[in-house]
Amino acid sequence: MAGGTVSRTAHFALHRLVLDANSAAAAVNPIASSGPDSLPSVQGSQALFAVHEVWLGAMVPKRWAKRSVTRHLLRRQIYAVAQDFAAQLPPNGAYVVRLRAAFDPKRFVSASSEPLRQAVRSELQQLFGYAVRKLGGAGPAAAANLAAPGVLA
């Protein structure tokens, strides 16, 4: 999150850290030997998942999503939407999607309801759509992705 915020919506924020070639190679190719002298002098960036040459992480705090069912639903939606947009994002970056506000429990009574899934998915598509436009990704493909109805995970 130290790299800065790329885009925001009402409930989510997308952070990006630009990785240089050396730190990305160190994260992908760890040192095979062991012992006290085997540690690298500089620690490379560590990301959670690589999706199409883009490193992605999801941060869904208990503060904003109290139930485990809701947190897992949000993470699955984040990874599903990110996979749709990964080819359009610049490849030399590590991204973190952060939940920054709770969804209204009065409006979404069930933690895994279909209306909540649709609301989360549409907001995540907006979030990644803003990021693609801001970072100079593929314009027409990004617009097509926003309009395409995806499979809800």
Mean pLDDT of the 31-40 span? 49
Q: Give the count of beta carbons closer than 10 Å to the beta carbon of residue 16.
A: 23
97: Cβ–Cβ under 8 A, 6 or more apart, which residues? 12, 13, 14, 15, 56, 57, 58, 59, 78, 82, 124, 127
Whether 114 and 23 have beta carbons less than 8 Å apart is answered as no
Give the helix, strand, coil percentages of the chain, each rounded to 5: 40, 20, 45
The answer to whether residues 120 and 97 touch, using CB atoms and an 8 Å cutoff, is no
Asked whether the predicted pLDDT for residue 64 surpasses 60, the reply is: yes
pLDDT greater than 50 at residue 110: yes
pLDDT for 79: 95
DSSP of 29-67: S-----STT-S-SSPPP--SEEETTEEEEEE--TTT--S
Do residues 16 and 54 touch, judged by C-beta distance below 8 A? no
Supply the pTM of this predicted model. 0.69
